[in-house]
Amino acid sequence: MTIDERLSGVILTALVPIEGVSLYDITWHGSVLRVTVDRPGGVDLDTISGVTRALSHALDEADPIAGAYQLEVSSPGLERTLRTAEHWSGAVGERVKVKTRVEVDGERRFEGTVVSAAADYIVIETSEGERRLALDQLDRATTVFEWGPTPKPGSPASRERTAAGSPGRPDAGPRQEDSR
């Protein structure tokens, strides 16, 4: 059994009792073990803390890594790294930035929308047309979070966001006038 298989087994077992939390990714670089977790609606600091404690205890107990290492637990964030077929399947319909490997013909860096994803390839719609790439042709890829303008307080868009349950801007409370 490889170290990756042992780590995956220990981590997945430790995550089972934590309600709603799923493993998004595991990366091992040098002496840093990065575990990325997610759940519907996202993860908060309390969840990250709980997962860190559970994983730390499970990894100490199983001791799958020889020597010292640093454990980092995080969420995938707004702009998620796409490495696996599962990541790509979850990103269908989303805007992405892609960098291909050197040996791939065509533009190496581009943006587009994920049209489809299979076990070994993806299709991305770009301004130049569709590109079909094998997953092993990709150097790195991330989703692109598109920031939109915040509607002005009192505008129809602002009322729609408030009615939909969006918290709006944190500074949108009453303004205090300077009396100078």
Beta pairing class for 22-29 and 138-143: unpaired
How far separated are the first and last CA of the chain, in Å rounded?
73
pLDDT at position 36: 95
Residue 38, both tokens: 């997610």
CATH number, position 60: 3.30.300.70
pLDDT tens digits, 123-158: 999 999 999 999 999 999 999 998 877 767 777 765
DSSP structure class, residue 88: H
pLDDT at position 163: 56
Residues 65 and 89 in one domain: no
Q: How far is it, in rounded angstroms, from Cα 29 to Cα 2?
A: 15
Nearest Cα neighbor of 7 from 50, 54, 46, 55 is 55
Residue 174, both tokens: 């009453």
Residues 138 and 95 in one domain: yes
Report residue 159's pLDDT band, with 50, 70 and 90 as the boundaries: low
pLDDT at position 172: 40
4 alpha carbon, distance to own chain's centre: 20
Domain with 33 in it: 3-74
Residues 116 and 70 in one domain: no
Residues 18 and 49 in one domain: yes
Overall pTM surpassing 0.75 (yes/no)? no
Contact 77, 43 (CB under 8 A): no
Q: How far is it, in rounded angstroms, from Cα 47 to Cα 76?
A: 13
pLDDT tens digits, 24-59: 999 988 899 999 999 998 999 999 999 999 999 999
Contact 108, 102 (CB under 8 A): yes
CATH number, position 112: 2.30.30.180
Count the neighbouring beta carbons within 10 Å of the beta carbon of residue 179.
Answer: 4
The whole-number average pLDDT for the span 93-109 is 95
End-of-domain residue from the set 54, 74, 94:
74
